[in-house]
Amino acid sequence: MTANNRIVLSSDHAAIALRQTLAAHITTLGWEVVDIGPTTPESTHYPKHGEAAAQRIVSGDCRLGIVLCGTGQGIMMAANKVKGIRCGVCSDTFSARMIRQHNDANMLSIGARVVGEGVALDIVDAFLSAEFEGGRHGTRVDMITALEQ
């Protein structure tokens, strides 16, 4: 783990309980969790929560981020609009590991209405324990970054 062991978590109303469960788990792994998601169940708009989490990463405040909504899709789309963010939705551990190893993803998105708590915890573990492999994958990530210009 690098000096910056801070990870930002956020969600919309559809994923509050799962987000809080993940936050408690991630804390036990030694991360400093910055949970900026809503805590009350009123309907809210996932784009603003995805954007706010993404800004914590591009500002350097947090190294990684995890966002959740009902499907994981909308909040992922919003996060990926922020320059410098590479966020993938994962419903399986293989993808969660690979988006770190090959895509250098700095954010993970999970659908709280798609996967159960046990699978979500495994997905988070796979994402957080994997490292970017660089090499040819670095060339490809650089090509993604170039698309932002």
- Which residues are catalytic, by number? 69, 102
Whose Cβ is closer to ligand RB5: residue 89's or residue 98's? 89
Is residue 115 involved in binding ligand RB5 (CB under 6 A)?
Answer: no
Is residue 47 involved in binding ligand RB5 (CB under 6 A)?
Answer: no
Is residue 46 involved in binding ligand RB5 (CB under 6 A)?
Answer: yes
> Nearest 5°: phi and psi at 10?
-155, 170
Tokens of 148: 């932002």
Q: Annotate 91-147 with DSSP letters as a single string.
A: SSHHHHHHHHHTT--SEEEEETTTS-HHHHHHHHHHHHH-----THHHHHHHHHHHT
Whose Cβ is closer to ligand RB5: residue 37's or residue 74's? 74
Binding residues (CB under 6 A) for ligand RB5: these are 12, 14, 46, 69-71, 73-74
